[in-house]
Amino acid sequence: MDGTRTSLDIEEYSDTEVQKNQVLTLEEWQDKWVNGKTAFHQEQGHQLLKKHLDTFLKGKSGLRVFFPLCGKAVEMKWFADRGHSVVGVEISELGIQEFFTEQNLSYSEEPITEIPGTKVFKSSSGNISLYCCSIFDLPRTNIGKFDMIWDRGALVAINPGDRKCYADTMFSLLGKKFQYLLCVLSYDPTKHPGPPFYVPHAEIERLFGKICNIRCLEKVDAFEERHKSWGIDCLFEKLYLLTEK
């Protein structure tokens, strides 16, 4: 045996401190959009969400769904088309504009009065509102509580040193009987500095365990050819469901 981990034996990596000081600024994230470095975007939407969506929704309509660090996620339209109200936050105005353009949705924009210099983009139908600002400024807008959060590409993108603040922000947005759907990645953090960052189960427990029941619903092999450039040879994605204790 050469010591290579396989899909059968990989679970958690012990060296979780190696990425703790990694920082990506908001300007660097905006540059990624300007330069087209958005391989994290999934044009066909997230397959695990697609698989479980109807089970999560249980035939309900009129839910409020929050997308942290939403980018131009096509899943926002999935929820809107099913009669739900979608709110997202994204630092890149370009990403927000591309969402509306690519989904053929007309929209308007207006200033966010509570956060000078920022804007909110609203679909003409009124059921999609995307705030262009830092997620840590969002609670100042009094946007209310949400029934569901879809967190794919958000927690794994937040600088590790900001995770506690991020979790507290999420808690401030959760309504009663919430469902918080969380996707994280598992890979050897000594080989790739991130983002996306490695978030082990113990970290999820630390961040959310006092308030949430935490259940891992599914774990899938997410390794693609492009991930070889990260210096890794395996990558797994885990879908968690967090519910109110």
Q: Which residues are annotated as a binding site for S-adenosyl-L-methionine?
A: 29-40, 69, 90, 134-135, 152
CA-closest candidate to residue 185, choices 219, 148, 229, 149: 219
Listed in sequence order, the DSSP H helices in the chain are 26-34, 47-57, 75-81, 93-102, 163-173, 201-208
> Which residue in 103, 118, 49 sits closest to 72, CA to CA?
103
Residue 169, phi then psi, degrees to nearest 5? -65, -45
Which residues are known binding-site members for substrate? 40
Contacts (Cβ under 8 Å, ≥6 apart) of 197: 19, 22, 156, 157, 158, 160, 185, 189
**Rounded distance, CA 11 to CA 109, Å?**
45
- Return the beta strands (E) in the chain as ranges: 64-67, 85-89, 107-111, 119-123, 128-132, 146-152, 174-186, 212-221, 236-244
In the annotated binding site, the residues are 29-40, 69, 90, 134-135, 152
Count of CB atoms within 10 A of residue 148's CB? 21
Please give the single-letter amino acid code of residue 156.
V
